[in-house]
Amino acid sequence: MLEGLMIGLSTAFSVTNILMVIGGCLIGTFIGMLPGLGPMSIIAIMIPVAITLGDPSAALILLAGVYYGAIFGGSTSSILLNAPGVAGTVASSFDGYPMARAGMAGKALTIAAISSFMGGTVGAILLMVFAPMLSTVALLFHSAEYFALMVVGLSAIAAFAGTGNVAKALMMTLLGLMMATVGEGALFNMPRFTMGLMDLQSGLSFITLAMAMFALPEAIFLVMNPGRSAQGGENGGKITGLRITGQEARKIAPVIGRQSIQGFFIGVLPGAGATIASFLGYAVERNIATEEEQKEFGKGSIKGLAAPETANNAACTGSFVPLLTLGIPGSGTTAILLGALIALNVTPGPRLMIDSPHIFWAVIISMYIGNLVLLVLNLPLIPYIAKVLSIPRNYLIPFILFFTLMGSYIGQNNATELLILVGFGICATVLRFADYPLAPLLIGFILGRMLEDNFARSMQLYDGISFILDRPMTLGLLVLAALLVIVPSYRARRARARAAGVADGD
């Protein structure tokens, strides 16, 4: 390991590779800021550029820089415009956007930048130490375990349900699961619930749904309610409070520590990735928070912003474990990276560390350099990025609508997506008026297809649902999912009972 590390250091610190890291981070950050243009699109576009470099190390370092740069930058549109273009940054908007509306956009971006840096850095260190060992752990996960993992992800709905809204959150989750069944299933090549529309054969687009659930209703609310400001609250668009206090730093430090580790290990599992890590990170931190702190979640909690930002960047780094050590892509983005590796005549797998240590270790070390580059690039730019909120409402609303429509259209290159976007956006606005939480719907949609596919495969392999009892790890994950739903409900009931006791005593 030490010898491989020294080879990686000499490769990663060459002038060419340093420039590749900086270039990849810059491209990824700016692409991540644009709703609808996620890392998958830009990596696919840049593969021909990477191949022309000739050096596999430099090519992979460039593409990896674009990947985690996009995750790093994806939080910006979520925080400032409530328009998450990347699935891994959806949870960042739950508390990041309320902070921006309350005049703390600069602070929100600072917390996101620091949390992302720490999550990515800790992930890179853990990747360096545990990669060979974790490759064997990842092999223990089969369809049954992935099904249970998706159920654990769905159990996060308890964290997004406000007081007394658990039933509404459950209904929205079920609606999201139903929407995930539109289009062709993995096991049966027959279109389902498409109403005869060819455009729905491949299913509903995540980008379209995310924009319809968050960005479009926000623009409609700004039009309908002139008193509602997305421009800094009382400060009238003046960006203040870019620094975090020592007390706030101490408050988020344990969150960053926990979610760096949790996010990394979730990222190691093929098929899990940054999205599940961010949702689970948010859910876990809300569930273990004090009763007072729980009330802040969803209204501008710094813990609620730090948790998903740390977890998604740590998971992004962790996803390179199955890619490099097993040749298994853990997400759509790493699947494109796998294609790039093969195009560069590099075969990922257990022998990569032995046959091409300069590639394996250089990529890992470049991740640490990349996170440092991202922090140095982003922190000085925060005052300028945050000035998006100082744009007058007359211009801000068309700006949000333009990026929403553009992101939706580019995602599928299909005009029908615009009609779907408007239809779902109006429905989402009505649901917000009725106080239905929209996050559970998106969680159900994102995890629904993976849940269905893995459950169907498990049923085929084990001839029924006996796999739940036959595989201890599956049973353990399902028990964990049940606890994640039951414990918050029990705590809420106990709090109500205590409040009722105090009232009787009065």
Mean pLDDT of 349-367: 78
Distance CA 448, CA 258 (A): 27
Residue range 330-345: average pLDDT? 72
CA nearest to 297, candidates 476, 16, 488, 428: 488
Amino acid letter for position 268: V
Mean pLDDT of 214-239: 60
Count of all residues that appear for the chain in the document: 506
Range scoring the smallest mean pLDDT among 154-163, 243-252, 298-307, 411-420: 154-163
Which of 155-169, 197-211, 407-421, 482-496 is least confident?
155-169
How many H helices and E strands in the chain? Answer: 24, 2
The whole-number pLDDT of residue 65 equals 85
Beta-carbon count within 10 A of 247 CB: 7
Of 430, 163, 449, 136, the residue nearest 291 (C-alpha): 163
Query: What percent of the chain shows pLDDT beyond 70?
Result: 81
**Amino acid occupying residue 465:** I
Mean pLDDT across the stretch 60-67?
85
- Mean pLDDT, the chain, rounded, equals 78
Q: What is the pTM of this model?
A: 0.70
Q: For position 138, what pLDDT does the model report?
A: 62
The token duo for 296 is 């802040």
Helix (H) or strand (E) holding 308: helix 302-318
Mean local confidence (pLDDT), 64-87: 78
- Between CA 9 and CA 16, with CA 11 as vertex, the angle to 5 degrees is 125
184 has which bridge partners?
A: 191
CA pair distance 501, 498, nearest whole angstrom? 5
- The 3-state DSSP class for residue 184 equals strand
Among 42-51, 209-218, 245-254, which range has the highest average pLDDT?
245-254
Domains of the chain: which residue ranges? 1-142+203-226+241-415
What pLDDT sits at residue 412? 65
pLDDT at 506 over 60: no
Query: Which residue carries 């996010």 as its tokens?
Result: 263
Rounded Cα–Cα distance for residues 160 and 210 (Å): 16
Among 484, 489, 497, CA closest to 165:
489
pLDDT tens for each residue of 98-116 = 988 888 888 888 898 899 8
